Amino acid sequence: MTTRYPILFEAEATGAVSAYVPDLPVYAAGDTAEEAERAIRDLLAYYLSDRQAKGLPMPASRTIVKVARISATALRSTVAIVSSAALLGRERSPRKAAAARRNGLQGGRPRLARSAR
């Protein structure tokens, strides 16, 4: 069974980076983002293996991640709450665009040629 937990990373005013898992009592920090990521990964693995050793179930993730998209003009700002996929942007890589063209822009896997079926 795979469980996904969102992890939040915050850059502090001092330059340090803190990381925490909203659904679990897991918090770590590091001088750099890489150090914070390594620390939270290690601590999360330790926390979950400790729970398993005690026979406790894997806690469910209850956090829902959304993004505030803010559009500002000279006269006003509008706020929309959108999916976390918005963080990835709309850009397509050349490889993904080529695959879409091969697939007839229909999504999914490319169709097999009749002779290959």
Whether this prediction's pTM lies above 0.75 is answered by no
Contact 39, 27 (CB under 8 A): no
Beta carbons of 85 and 69 less than 8 angstroms apart:
no
80 falls within a domain: yes
pLDDT tens series, the chain, 117 aa:
788 899 999 999 999 999 999 999 999 999 999 999 999 999 999 999 999 999 999 888 999 888 888 888 888 999 999 888 777 766 667 787 777 777 776 555 555 555 554
Tokens of 83: 């999916």
Domain span at residue 16 reads: 8-53
Q: What pLDDT is attached to residue 116?
A: 52
Tokens of 25: 């009592």
Count up the domains in the chain and report the number.
Answer: 2
pLDDT for the residue 93: 74
Q: Is 17 within the bounds of a domain?
A: yes
- Contacts with 104 (C-beta within 8 Å, 6 or more apart), sequence order: 111
The answer to the question of residue 36 being in a domain is yes
Residue 49 sits in the same domain as residue 86: no
In a domain, residue 81? The reply is yes
